[in-house]
């Protein structure tokens, strides 16, 4: 086996292990931790402002760490709520993500890609979850808003996973806090060198 095929097999094992980690080890956080983080984050809350770089959010707590390090799930949901003109509170969205998105390893491995819908439900949003980027893109309509979860690099899963919001317009698909925060004509173009894990198309609930 040459080095390329070894690395490809190793990545495949990592992907399986990562899926198991998120699916079975996402136990969430203690309520005391969630309450302490909410109090700290509320002291310098942000509302109604799109966030394009979580690295600027080191002062905000997520789980046992910070939003800058592993809070991309909360940032993606916060940005979705902004696009839908729901004037969200970042402190509240972080708290909801900590409580309902089953953070893994005390939040050190971020939110669970397969549990983000539980947070969306708290905001009375309807959603469809996809495990295929092609099927998700086919379902996206002009003006629609979605969340993408991907491995940062398809050829090196040790570089971790990332959540980000995307918006489809007549000019293409725009990402927020995504890989380069850019606009592309396709979802594959936005994902770039990453690998799709899961995605959510989202809309306000009728009634």
Task: Report the pLDDT value the prediction gives residue 25, as an integer from 0 to 100.
Answer: 57
Task: Report the pLDDT value the prediction gives residue 120, as an integer from 0 to 100.
Answer: 97
The C-alpha atoms of residue 67 and residue 40 are separated, in whole angstroms, by: 12
Task: Report the pLDDT value the prediction gives residue 102, as an integer from 0 to 100.
Answer: 85
Give pLDDT < 70 ranges for the chain: 1-28, 157, 180-181, 207
For 173, the token pair is 């698909």
Condensed to tens digits (0 to 9), the pLDDT of residues 183-198 reads 788 999 999 889 999 9
Per the CB < 8 A criterion, the answer to whether 200 and 135 are in contact is no
The residue length of the chain stands at 207
Going 177 to 181 to 185 to 189, the CA torsion angle's sign is: negative
H-type alpha helices, the chain: 3-25, 31-42, 67-70, 72-83, 90-100, 116-122, 133-139, 187-191
The C-alpha atoms of residue 158 and residue 92 are separated, in whole angstroms, by: 30
SS3 of residue 100 by DSSP = helix
Nearest CA to 95 out of 31, 191, 190 is that of 31
Nearest CA to 98 out of 19, 52, 29, 43 is that of 29
φ/ψ of 64, rounded to 5, equals -90, 0
Going 79 to 81 to 84 to 87, the CA torsion angle's sign is: negative
Task: Report the pLDDT value the prediction gives residue 107, as an integer from 0 to 100.
Answer: 83
205: DSSP letter: P
Task: Report the pLDDT value the prediction gives residue 6, as an integer from 0 to 100.
Answer: 40
pTM confidence score: 0.87
Per the CB < 8 A criterion, the answer to whether 72 and 178 are in contact is no
Task: Report the pLDDT value the prediction gives residue 30, as an integer from 0 to 100.
Answer: 87
């Amino acid at each position: 086996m040459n080095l390329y095929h070894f690395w490809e097999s190793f990545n495949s094992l990592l992907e399986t292990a990562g899926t198991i980690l998120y699916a079975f080890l996402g136990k969430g956080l203690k309520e005391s931790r969630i309450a302490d983080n909410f109090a700290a984050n509320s002291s310098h809350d942000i509302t109604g402002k799109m966030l394009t770089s979580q690295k600027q959010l080191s002062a905000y707590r997520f789980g046992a760490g910070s939003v800058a390090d592993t809070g991309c799930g909360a940032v993606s949901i916060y940005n979705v709520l902004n696009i839908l003109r729901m004037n969200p509170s970042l402190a509240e969205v972080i708290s909801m993500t900590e409580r309902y998105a089953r953070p893994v390893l005390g939040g050190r491995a971020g939110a669970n890609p397969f549990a983000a819908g539980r947070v969306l439900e708290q905001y009375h949003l309807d959603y469809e979850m996809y495990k295929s980027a092609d099927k998700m893109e086919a379902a996206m309509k002009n003006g629609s808003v979605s969340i993408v979860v991907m491995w940062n690099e398809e050829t090196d899963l040790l570089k971790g996973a990332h959540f980000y919001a995307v918006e489809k317009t007549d000019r293409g698909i725009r990402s927020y806090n995504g890989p380069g925060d850019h606009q592309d004509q396709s979802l594959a173009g936005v994902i770039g060198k990453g690998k799709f894990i899961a995605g959510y198309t989202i809309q306000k609930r009728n009634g």
